């Protein structure tokens, strides 16, 4: 149980500087349980707090854990250069509270992307030492064959990698689609592995991280949601991702 002054609460949730948040409170823009609060220095219990600002209800969260169904042509960068950044798909206050992508998907890769403002969580999820499996579905230029699957499972040599990289599991989806499970998360890994196995990736989608499945989140492209504690518990290192 912890208490914070209302201006600090609003600042922590990304609504602006403490001075700006104090002005919002003084102007009657914030209410709790339907009652306007005009004293920004009042101490409020944060556990379970729901407040209304600009007519919208917001749940206080010490940290946010977000799943985004990333569309194509968005960069996983806070300082995007050639395409819009994924943060433009979220409310502005998330940028102010330093929400950032957990790892990266190429600008043309779609699918499940995690985002958070929790540094240790970002580090843990990004660390190759945790061996968190990620599932990708790749559309290929040439037909998918059992020989291609065998090469990916056996491991292919990539430029600048000291040892061959292999898929954890791999299966044919249809004539030009293959599902690949990886743990390493190397740069352009799926695309480079397919090229090294004498095929070419023309589209790539991440469908699952750990046991968290994008389809079960029911997000259209560009949509996002907060992750519940139960959903966060699915982001565990476990090779049995089915």
Q: Which residues are catalytic?
A: 106
Distance, CA of 221 to CA of 166 (rounded, Å): 29
For every residue of 98-164, DSSP letters joined together read: T-EESS---TT-EEEEEEES-HHHHHHHH-GGG---EEEEEEESSPP-HHHHHHHHH-B--TT-SS-
Q: 97 near 21, Cβ under 8 Å?
A: no
Q: What's the burial of 146, exposed, middle or buried (CB within 10 Å: 0-12/13-18/19+)?
A: exposed
Provide the token pair at 202: 């023309």
Distance, CA of 116 to CA of 10 (rounded, Å): 18
Alpha-carbon radius of gyration of the chain: 21
Helix (H, G, I), strand (E, B) or coil at 71: coil
């Amino acid at each position: 149980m912890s208490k914070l002054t209302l201006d600090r609460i609003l600042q922590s949730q990304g609504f602006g500087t403490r001075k700006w948040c104090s002005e919002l409170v003084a102007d009657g823009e914030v209410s709790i349980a339907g009652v306007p609060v005009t004293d920004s220095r009042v101490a409020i219990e944060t556990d379970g707090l729901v407040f209304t600002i600009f007519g919208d209800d917001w749940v206080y969260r010490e940290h946010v854990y977000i799943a985004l169904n990333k569309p194509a042509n968005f960069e996983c960068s806070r300082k995007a250069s050639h395409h819009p950044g994924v943060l433009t798909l979220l409310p502005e206050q998330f940028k102010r509270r330093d929400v950032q992508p957990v790892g990266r998907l190429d600008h043309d890769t779609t699918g499940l992307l995690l985002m958070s403002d929790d540094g240790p969580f970002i580090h843990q999820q990004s660390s190759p030492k945790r061996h968190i499996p990620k599932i990708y579905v790749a559309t290929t230029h040439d037909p998918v064959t059992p020989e291609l699957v065998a090469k990916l499972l056996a491991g292919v040599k990539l430029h600048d990698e000291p040892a061959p990289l292999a898929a954890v599991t791999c299966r044919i989806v249809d004539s030009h689609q293959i599902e690949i499970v990886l743990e390493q998360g190397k740069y352009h890994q799926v695309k480079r592995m397919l090229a090294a196995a004498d095929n070419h990736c023309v589209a790539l989608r991440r469908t699952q991280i750990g046991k968290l499945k994008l389809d079960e989140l029911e997000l259209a492209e560009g949509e996002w949601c907060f992750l519940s504690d139960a959903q966060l518990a699915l982001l565990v290192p476990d090779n049995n991702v089915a």
